[in-house]
Amino acid sequence: MSQQTAAGLRYAYYPGCSLEATAREYDLSVRAVCDHLGIELAEIPDWNCCGASSGHSTNRRLASTLAGRNLALAEEMKMDIAVACPACYIRLRSAQNEMKQDKKLRDELTRSADLSYDARYSTRHLLDIICNEIGLENLKNKVVKPLHGLKLAAYYGCYLVRPPDVVAFDDPENPQCLDTLLDTLGAEVRDWSGKVDCCGGSLSLSKRDIASQMVGELTEMARRAGAEAMVTACPLCHANLEMRQRGLNGNKLPVFYFTELIGLALGIKETRSWFKKHLISPSGLLTSLGL
Amino acid sequence: MQYLGKDGVAVIESRFGAQVKEASGTEINRCYQCLTCSLGCPSAFAMDYLPHQIVRMVQLGLREQVLTSSTIWVCADCQACATRCPNEVDLVKMMDVLREISLREGLAKEHAVADFHRIFLGNIERWGRQHELSLILMLKLKTRDLFSDLLPGMKMLLKGKLKLFPVRFSEIKKVRDLFRRTER
């Protein structure tokens, strides 16, 4: 139940920890693009970390109640939740299922955080919201600067599409929404087979060599498909793809957040300032195309 | 071999398979070793046992071998195996349970990954939200790996991508209580 108002759509916004720091430009671009598209984001007051992989990898009950507290806070706001980070997205959606089935978990949440939870609202990813609530036809009408000549590999990674019984707004093996969205913005989207392969983001800090090898395989695949940049909807993929690409800076593939490219095509003026935060600068590529 | 008993025979704990099945809620015995999980596993190249081998070892009750494997920590949690398994064996839930037991019993082989998870959760308990700069610095101290990533780290600081201080969080007591209730 997203709230439909005269102005558009309203959601309880869960930014997640990465968007406060390493993925600052993702948060800024999400807020600017949503504002431009008439999606109102009301940040959940005093939200806490969802626990991410570390939560469910080592303490599954805690993972449910940590995410559950955010779900219950959003329920008080009587709105569906909008999430930008796929790792938070899958945790919130999994926790919703777990809390629904397990009364003991709901009781634990009530005793600790003084919140009740009835699982009445849903959690949506912003890619899903923009593709399926705003609609690509609407988006197309707002494009003022088509991204002509920009050759892109749409990279979905893991948690936007897997496991399909928890997430499922697109096909788990050959998803299309991000490809179609970038096509709508006028970019040249390359078909490639790495779109749902894992980049090793969860190992980026603890097992650098493994993450580097996984990133290397992905970027090589994207390059072979003719892409000059990759596009992601995940802050962990973005950080990992930027940090763990080997080689000289000039030879690395820039990585965009999908919202940054929407901003560019829609002519949102802050767009340039988001790109300045990238470790691999996309400016040369964009300038060469007159974008 | 350390997994062999005095008589040279592998130590088998026949209850182990049932224990993992019960805790994970997934029917591990359905596996017929088709290798779909291992063939699609993106971090298989760095594992000591492949995912389908871990499933078989759990079935057989090779408890210690499984809990001290690097596989359960090198698993990147990408969910491809569980999504593709033709028998709906949820290897991700299985791995979660194996990591939980391994950590609880002090058997975790890949210390850096286990430390990462501990520090990650410790920060949430302390501040309510993750503070990435502390996470990185604490992991570096713990693994005595101080100098890698210095350059990108500095670059991120300069670009304002790493907050210097954790956020103020008014309801931290409630989050800490969630930790207390699920401590085991």
Helix axes A60-76, A103-113, angle to 10 degrees: 70
Check pLDDT > 80 for residue B4. Answer: no
Please say if the pLDDT value at position B59 is more than 80: yes
B-chain residues within 8 Å CB-CB of A248? none
The pLDDT tens digits of the residues spanning B117-150 come to 999 999 999 999 999 999 999 999 998 888 888 8
Average the pLDDT over A66-82 and give the result. Answer: 96
Q: For position B1, what pLDDT does the model report?
A: 43
Over the stretch B69-101, which tens digit does the pLDDT of each residue have?
Answer: 999 999 999 999 999 999 999 999 999 999 999
Computed over every residue of chain A, the mean pLDDT equals 94
* Cβ-nearest to B174 among A22, A112, A209: A112
Least confident of A3-12, A173-182, A234-243: A3-12
Please, which residues 246-265 of chain A have a Cβ atom closer than 8 Å to chain B?
Answer: none
Contact check, Cβ <8 Å, A54/B121? yes
Predicted-complex ipTM score: 0.90
B53-57 mean pLDDT: 98
Instruction: Indicate whether B7 pLDDT > 80.
Output: no
Residues in chain A within 8 Å Cβ distance of B92: 163
Mean pLDDT of A187-203: 97
* pLDDT computed for residue B168 by the predictor: 79
Pick A48's closest partner by Cβ from B120, B128, B159: B128
- Report B:8-27 residues touching A (Cβ under 8 A): none
**A22-26, A77-81, A123-127, B12-16: least confidently modelled range:** B12-16
Which residues in chain A are contacts of B132 at CB distance < 8 A?
17-18, 21-22
The pLDDT of residue A6 is above 50: no
Cβ contacts from A onto B, under 8 A: 171
pLDDT of residue A228: 97
Judge whether residue A3 has pLDDT over 80. Answer: no
Cβ-defined contact of A17 to B77 (cutoff 8 Å) = no
Q: Does B111 touch chain A (CB under 8 A)?
A: no
Nearest CA to CA, how far is B28 from chain A (Å)?
Answer: 18
pTM, rounded to two decimals: 0.93
Q: Is the pLDDT of residue A81 over 90?
A: yes
With a cut of 70, say whether residue A266 has pLDDT above it.
yes
**Whole-angstrom distance, CA of residue A203 vs CA of residue B27:** 28
Residues of A in contact with B44 (CB under 8 A): none
Taking 60 as the threshold, does the pLDDT of residue A212 lie above it?
A: yes
Q: Per-residue pLDDT for B111 more than 70?
A: yes
Q: What does the pLDDT read at residue B169?
A: 84
Partner A, chain B 44-103, Cβ-Cβ below 8 Å: 45-46, 74, 76-80, 82-83, 92, 95-96, 99-100, 103
